[in-house]
C-alpha cells in the first residue's frame, strides 16, 4: 500500500491566521504576515538531489490596533515536526504530504508535495 510523498525545500506553505492577536480589536483592520520558513533537513536523505525535510518553522507577525487605536503588535511561531514513519534512516521521521500544524491564532504550515519517494 503506497504511503505519502515526502517533502523537500519549497514544499511547505504558509497560511496566515484567522484570529486577531490578543488585545486587538477584531472590528478594526488587522493582518498576519508569514516570515521566512526555516527548515531542518537531512543531509544524507535526498529526493531529486534535494534534502528531505523533518521540521519546518515560521514566525508570523501581527499588525492591528486596540479599540482605542493603540497599535497591537504580536507574533506567533508555528513549528511543524515530522511524526515517525517507516522511512527513517536511523533518524526522526520525515515531513510528508498532508502534514500540517496550526497555531492558536490560525497561522498554519502545511506540506504540499507530489514527490515520487513515498513512506512505507
Per-residue pLDDT of the chain in tens (120 residues, 90 and over written 9): 456 788 998 999 999 999 999 999 999 999 999 999 999 998 888 888 889 999 999 999 999 999 999 999 999 999 999 976 555 444 568 898 989 999 999 999 999 987 666 555
DSSP codes, 17-73: -SSPPTT--TTS--EEEEEEEEEEEEEEEEETTEEEEEEEEEEEEEE-B-TTS-B--
Predicted pLDDT at 94:
85
Q: Whose CA is closest to 110, among 59, 92, 101?
A: 101
Burial of 11 (0-12, 13-18, 19+ CB in 10 A): buried
Predicted pLDDT at 119:
52
Predicted pLDDT at 86:
58
Predicted pLDDT at 114:
78
Amino acid at each position: 500500500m503506497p504511503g505519502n510523498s515526502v517533502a523537500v525545500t519549497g514544499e511547505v506553505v504558509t497560511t496566515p491566521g484567522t484570529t486577531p492577536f490578543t488585545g486587538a480589536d477584531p472590528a478594526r483592520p488587522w493582518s498576519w504576515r508569514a516570515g521566512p520558513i526555516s527548515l531542518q533537513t537531512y543531509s544524507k536523505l535526498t529526493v531529486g538531489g534535494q534534502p528531505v525535510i523533518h521540521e519546518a518553522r515560521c514566525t508570523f507577525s501581527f499588525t492591528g490596533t486596540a479599540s482605542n487605536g493603540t497599535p497591537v503588535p504580536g507574533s506567533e511561531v508555528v513549528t511543524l515536526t515530522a511524526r515517525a514513519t517507516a522511512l527513517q534512516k536511523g533518524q526522526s521521521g520525515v515531513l510528508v504530504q498532508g502534514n500540517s500544524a496550526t497555531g492558536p491564532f490560525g497561522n498554519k504550515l502545511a506540506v504540499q508535495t507530489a514527490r515520487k519517494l513515498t513512506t512505507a
